């Protein structure tokens, strides 16, 4: 189903959990124009041909006995099912989708499939659970659901952007290493996570920080230490010698040359 063309998605009313809240948030990210409507289960027959999640025993529900499971045996809940279906639309490749699933989605799915009694294992699940109103079927509960979805959308967008950035960083680093196969240190146009260089010949990276100073970082702090004998232009050397900050590029290049092993 083309999620961009779905005008309304339906889920259950009453008590909200992180699963249905983050499912709704994900749908809002995929299609900002989509409406999320909460319905009573007794009226389900009226909506059997609609886009349903966390209700109705359809593609994006997980309450049947024949659950869809991950390779490791952990069953999907609705949040995981929707993300598994649509993650390419977010720009994530399979590797980083699986990282996001492992780090965040799987935990929410696991809690929802086992019951909220385990929500202490997922702080997010616990917070959403605590947001429920005393009257689960009143107007205030519907307003609170919208607030919870907006909060979840901000959290999820932050996480997705984080994984997209990491995904791009790996691509950038792979190209840099390919173009500089034997370099011991590199001067970069921007900061890239130093650990991404650890399996290459690169021992140190240099880049200009936001304060317009130059930083040198070890790509493996156990093996490579920043030489601290150069005092000219020095601003800071970390006691562990994995990081140095200098005023000039020429000086920090000299530091790098003295530091390589």
Domain region containing 197: 181-259
> Based on the domain organization, do 163 and 203 belong to the same domain?
no
Residue 116 is predicted with a pLDDT of: 55
Residue 209 is predicted with a pLDDT of: 97
Query: In a 10 Å sphere around its CB, with 0-12 CB exposed, 13-18 middle and 19+ buried, how is residue 51 labelled?
Result: buried
> Based on the domain organization, do 136 and 105 belong to the same domain?
yes
pLDDT of 115 strictly over 70: no
Residue 52 is predicted with a pLDDT of: 97
Asked, for residue 176, whether it belongs to a domain, the answer is: no
Mean pLDDT of 14-24: 97
> Based on the domain organization, do 201 and 253 belong to the same domain?
yes
Asked, for residue 175, whether it belongs to a domain, the answer is: no
- List pLDDT tens digits, range 42-77: 999 999 889 999 999 899 999 887 889 999 888 999
pTM: 0.87
Residue 101 is predicted with a pLDDT of: 97
Distance from C-alpha of 59 to C-alpha of 9, rounded to nearest angstrom: 13
Mean pLDDT over the full length of the chain: 94
pLDDT of 117 strictly over 70: no
Asked, for residue 129, whether it belongs to a domain, the answer is: yes
Structure tokens, 61: 């529900």
Distances from the Cα of 165 to the Cαs of 50, 96, 121, 171, 251, in angstroms? 35, 10, 27, 10, 30
Asked, for residue 234, whether it belongs to a domain, the answer is: yes
Residue 252 is predicted with a pLDDT of: 98
The domain tally of the chain equals: 2
Asked, for residue 134, whether it belongs to a domain, the answer is: yes
> Based on the domain organization, do 229 and 100 belong to the same domain?
no
Structure tokens, 152: 């979840």
């Amino acid at each position: 189903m083309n999620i961009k063309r779905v005008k309304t998605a339906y889920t259950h009313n009453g008590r909200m959990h992180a699963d249905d809240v983050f499912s709704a948030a994900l749908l809002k990210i995929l299609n900002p124009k989509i409406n999320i409507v909460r319905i009573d289960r007794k009226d389900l027959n009226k909506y059997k041909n609609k886009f349903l999640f966390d209700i109705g025993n359809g593609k994006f529900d997980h309450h049947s006995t024949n659950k869809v499971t991950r390779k490791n045996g952990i069953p999907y809940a609705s949040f995981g099912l929707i993300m598994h279906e649509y993650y390419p639309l977010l720009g994530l490749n399979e590797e980083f989708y699986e990282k996001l699933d492992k780090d965040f989605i799987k935990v929410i799915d696991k809690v929802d499939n086992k019951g909220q009694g385990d929500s202490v294992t997922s702080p997010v699940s616990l917070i959403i659970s605590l947001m429920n109103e005393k009257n689960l079927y009143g107007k205030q509960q519907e307003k609170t659901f919208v607030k919870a979805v907006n909060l979840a959308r901000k959290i999820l967008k932050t996480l997705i952007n984080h994984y997209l950035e990491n995904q791009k960083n790996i691509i950038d680093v792979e190209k840099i290493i390919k173009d500089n196969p034997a370099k011991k240190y590199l001067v970069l146009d921007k900061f890239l996570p130093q650990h991404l260089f650890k399996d290459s010949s690169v021992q140190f990276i240099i880049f200009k920080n936001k304060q317009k100073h130059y930083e040198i970082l070890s790509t493996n702090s156990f093996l490579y230490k920043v030489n601290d004998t150069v005092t000219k232009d020095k601003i800071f050397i970390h006691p562990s010698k994995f990081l140095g900050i200098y005023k000039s590029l020429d000086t920090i290049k000299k530091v790098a040359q003295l530091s390589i092993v």
